[in-house]
């Protein structure tokens, strides 16, 4: 999350710099008009592509045949919409690139590959950035400690009461 915030902050400063340079070259009013036109046209592009994607995906959703890849590809359209609304020309160019189906497929494949790696690390007990598994202590069945000994070794004891609601 921190990298994303830092990236957005960096994009903001680069956008301001580009806006100043473009404004100096073509004038402030023309720059503002171009920004508004780009935001409106970009919003229309995202809207039309979003509607097309929903119409294409709706029969598959009703049949229950949608893959996670297809759903993740649909996430890129709101990201492109955000980039169009973000003031500046670089974000508009990034949004236009993001509206290309091949780019969305490539980004989806990249995110899924990173996600699979992240979740496999987490399920194996490793931190997301760790490459080596944590050391495990092997305990033989006859050497199991009593509950009081487990707590002394640093285990966690959770006490509580429960009541079954499904049986009367």
Q: Report the number of distinct structural domains present in the chain.
A: 1
Give the pLDDT score at 32. 92
State the chain's maximal CA–CA distance in angstroms: 82
Taking the CA of residue 64 as centre, how many other CA atoms within 13 Å lie in the half-sphere pointing to its CB? Answer: 0
Give the pLDDT score at 140. 55
Do residues 98 and 80 make contact, with C-beta atoms less than 8 angstroms apart?
Answer: yes
Give the pLDDT score at 118. 65
pTM confidence score: 0.62
Residue 87 per-residue DSSP state:
S
For residue 74, being part of any structural domain is answered with: yes
Give the pLDDT score at 123. 63
Which residue carries 């609601």 as its tokens? 165
Give the pLDDT score at 124. 61
Give the pLDDT score at 96. 92
Other residues' Cβ atoms within 10 Å of the Cβ of residue 54 = 12
Do residues 77 and 53 make contact, with C-beta atoms less than 8 angstroms apart?
Answer: yes
d(CA 76, CA 64): 21
For residue 59, being part of any structural domain is answered with: yes
For residue 159, being part of any structural domain is answered with: no
What range defines the domain where residue 84 resides?
A: 8-123
Low-confidence ranges of the chain (pLDDT < 50): 133, 151
For residue 75, being part of any structural domain is answered with: yes
For residue 164, being part of any structural domain is answered with: no
């Amino acid at each position: 999350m921190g990298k994303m915030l830092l990236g957005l902050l960096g994009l903001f400063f680069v956008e301001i710099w580009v806006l100043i340079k473009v404004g100096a070259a073509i004038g402030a009013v023309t720059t503002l008009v171009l920004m508004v036109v780009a935001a409106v046209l970009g919003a229309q592009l995202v809207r039309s592509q979003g509607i097309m994607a929903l119409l294409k995906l709706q029969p598959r959703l009703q049949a229950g045949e949608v893959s996670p890849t297809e759903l993740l590809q649909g996430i890129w359209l709101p990201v492109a919409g955000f980039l169009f609304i973000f003031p500046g020309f670089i974000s508009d160019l990034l949004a236009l690139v993001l509206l290309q189906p091949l780019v969305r497929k490539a980004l989806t494949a990249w995110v899924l590959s990173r996600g699979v790696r992240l979740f496999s690390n987490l399920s194996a007990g490793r931190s997301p950035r760790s490459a080596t598994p944590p050391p495990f202590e092997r305990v033989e069945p006859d050497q199991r400690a009593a509950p009081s000994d487990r707590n002394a070794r640093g285990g966690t004891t959770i006490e509580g009461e429960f009541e079954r609601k499904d049986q009367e």
